[in-house]
Structure 1
Amino acid sequence: MEDYHVAEYRYENDHELGLFAIYDGHLGDSVASYLKANLFDNILKEPLFWSDPQEAIKNAYSSTNKYILENTKQLGPGGSTAVTAIVVDGTDMWIANIGDSRAVVCERGTASQLTVDHEPHTTNERKRIEKQGGFVSTFPGDVPRVNGQLAVARAFGDQSLKAHLSSEPDVKHIKINSSIEFVILASDGLWKVMKNQEAVDLVKSTKDPQTAAKRLTSKALGRMSKDDISCIVIRFRC
């Protein structure tokens, strides 16, 4: 396991913030560990956070990635995907991601994917990678990879691929209302063996979010998922 997660509450500027994240590391866990300790702090230190959260999140992702790449002697050559959620006063949620960790919302019992899986073979990602001088190959193996090495097109770190990877997150704002029941954040070890609606159906009757998360990870393990499995369930009371 090279995953790390964050699930905590803070009070900042008279606001209650719920901070949730899954960091799925590769080639070691140093980058994911660094993200766990620092990414949310970097986001909240952004001067624009309270006026323009989307821009603040993008700026913090970029500056954090720059720091990681400049400090590979300490952090190593590896990298990490990320999916983060910031819930402000229980009424607004900002979801961001790079890579293939995913956020799925349950709204009136129906699953909707909130994030984009940044896979190298998709048209937009392949075009960007090739424009930057890289290539996408299924050799070795049968999974599309950037320069035949990494199976995601966006990530933190990865010094050897930095010219061909992006650290720009997709960011989405969700207004929390009575129709929003819960959100699942999970690394790809869950989503490789479970569809979005199936995951929602499995836990929608489970009121305790920690129990729900454990149920999802256990089901993925039972299906012999061969990748890291980390999961957080955020349940709302509206």
Structure 2
Amino acid sequence: VQLLHLSEEPQTQSDLHHRLDGSVRFDTDGSGQPVTWDSFGIWDNRIEEPVLLPSSIRYGKPIPQVSLSRVGCASVLGLRKQNEDRLRVARIHDNLLYFAVFDGHGGPHAADYCYTFMEKFIRDALEEEDDLEKVLKKAFLDADKALHTHLMPDQPHVVHSVPGTTATVAMLRDGVELVVGSAGDSRAMLCRKGRAQKLTADHTPDRKDERLRIQRHGGFVTWNSVGQANVNGRLAMTRSIGDFHLKDSGVIAEPDTTRIMVQHANDSFLTLTSDGINFLLSDQEICDVINQCPDPTEAAQVIAEQALQYGSDDNASILIVPFGAWGKHQSSASTYSMSRNFSSSGRWA
């Protein structure tokens, strides 16, 4: 199918408006019947999504419109008293989608604040900047500053026992430009040709670069009885929003950012996960399980339940965004076993 055919001059002004809203499929034979993605050679024919016309014209190839209604989400309590994870999906602009996971600690207050207001800080940053990596960095820092004011409006110097949260945010522009910003140990991962591709790196004291920053600021790192490293013996991550009692010890809110162009012919989905899942399932295991599920909603539920079955005592949350190759690629030659031996995973030795 030639894109030139997709962008032919419409017959009427009404037809022009109908096509440019990006919410219609195109018939290649004049029949008026919808075209499945197999006709374009980029989408499994079990899933039919409309072409995102303005982006398709801009990039010179058919680009699927990612539907927010097809995004899969799941969040389970685990053995915690309350669920401090928050998941968020939204449309910032017509051509810009927003996905986020916030894993709170010390209470849900910081995660709740980011869930409610991170979009506002992103919108504000977009008024001044078009580069999405710069937008996310500004939004994270602005959210951290505003949270401080929100939690301690009358006592700005009293910052002990303050909650914090991880923040992993993905923004998809024009259906192809994917930018991820992350602070903490929540993760983003892309499944490309059935293989897991990391988009984030955990910010933990185990990382030499992160540990050196903590030490330069006068902080210290200790290891608990199970070998987990902590900043000042209190926090298992070196970046977060909140945790103001550790800011002077080098804990920062600035995210690392990654930009990647989605290949809808090869990319099956994006996942955002909290550490209640990451601690027990590897990225490739997550890929393998999801690729055996018929839809993102069921896949999210299966992953969250697997984390519980494998002994997670933390909140376990996942968000799955399907892309053009959903259902098209098998992750590996061997089928993932839901009853795998725990000891063989290396986590229970």
> TM-score when scaled to structure 1?
0.93
Aligned AA for 2:144?
N
Q: Map 1:24-103 onto structure 2 (within 5 A).
A: 24-47=103-126, 51-73=130-152, 77-103=162-188
Offset, 1:51: 2.3
Please list the CA deviations of residues 17-36 of structure 1 after superposition, one character each: whole Å capped at 9, or x if unmatched: 22111100000101100100
Instruction: Tell me how far apart the structure 1 counterparts of residues 127 and 213 of structure 2 sit (CA, whole Å).
Output: 28
Please list the CA deviations of residues 162-207 of structure 1 after superposition, one character each: whole Å capped at 9, or x if unmatched: 1120111011111111211101110000011111101100111324
Corresponding position of 2:329: none
Corresponding position of 1:184: 271
Instruction: Return the match for 2:237 from 144, 148, 152.
Output: 152
Corresponding position of 2:227: 142
Are 2:165 and 2:242, in contact at CA under 8 Å, matched by a contact in 1? yes
Instruction: Tell me how far apart the structure 1 counterparts of residues 128 and 180 of structure 2 sit (CA, whole Å).
Output: 14
Offset, 1:50: 5.6
Q: Give the secondary-structure state (helix, strand or coil) at the position aligned to 1:150.
A: coil
Are 1:48 and 1:55, in contact at CA under 8 Å, matched by a contact in 2? no
Q: Give the secondary-structure state (helix, strand or coil) at the position aligned to 1:95.
A: strand
Offset, 1:144: 0.6
Are 2:266 and 2:324, in contact at CA under 8 Å, matched by a contact in 1? no
Identity fraction in percent: 32
User: Alignment RMSD, CA only?
Assistant: 1.8
Instruction: Tell me how far apart the structure 2 counterparts of residues 233 and 132 of structure 1 sit (CA, whole Å).
Output: 37
Are 2:194 and 2:287, in contact at CA under 8 Å, matched by a contact in 1? yes
Instruction: Tell me how far apart the structure 2 counterparts of residues 171 and 144 of structure 1 sit (CA, whole Å).
Output: 24
Instruction: Tell me how far apart the structure 1 counterparts of residues 128 and 302 of structure 2 sit (CA, whole Å).
Output: 34
Corresponding position of 1:195: 282
Offset, 1:41: 1.9
Further displaced range: 49-58 or 86-95: 49-58
Corresponding position of 2:310: 223
Corresponding position of 1:21: 100
Offset, 1:73: 2.9
Please list the CA deviations of residues 95-122 of structure 1 after superposition, one character each: whole Å capped at 9, or x if unmatched: 1110000011100001111101001121
2:194 counterpart of 1:109:
yes
2:96 counterpart of 1:9:
no
Instruction: Tell me how far apart the structure 2 counterparts of residues 49 and 109 of structure 1 sit (CA, whole Å).
Output: 38
> TM-score when scaled to structure 2?
0.64
Offset, 1:141: 5.7
Larger CA Rg, structure 1 vs 2: 2
Instruction: Tell me how far apart the structure 2 counterparts of residues 230 and 47 of structure 1 sit (CA, whole Å).
Output: 28
Q: Which runs of 5+ in 1 are unaligned?
A: none
Q: Give the secondary-structure state (helix, strand or coil) at the position aligned to 1:162.
A: helix
Further displaced range: 73-82 or 60-69: 73-82
Instruction: Tell me how far apart the structure 2 counterparts of residues 210 and 36 of structure 1 sit (CA, whole Å).
Output: 21
Further displaced range: 65-74 or 155-164: 65-74
Corresponding position of 1:212: 299
Are 2:203 and 2:210, in contact at CA under 8 Å, matched by a contact in 1? yes
Give 1 or 2: higher strand fraction. Answer: 1
Are 2:144 and 2:253, in contact at CA under 8 Å, matched by a contact in 1? yes
Q: Give the secondary-structure state (helix, strand or coil) at the position aligned to 1:71.
A: helix
Q: Give the secondary-structure state (helix, strand or coil) at the position aligned to 1:130.
A: helix
Aligned AA for 2:251?
L
Further displaced range: 152-161 or 70-79: 70-79
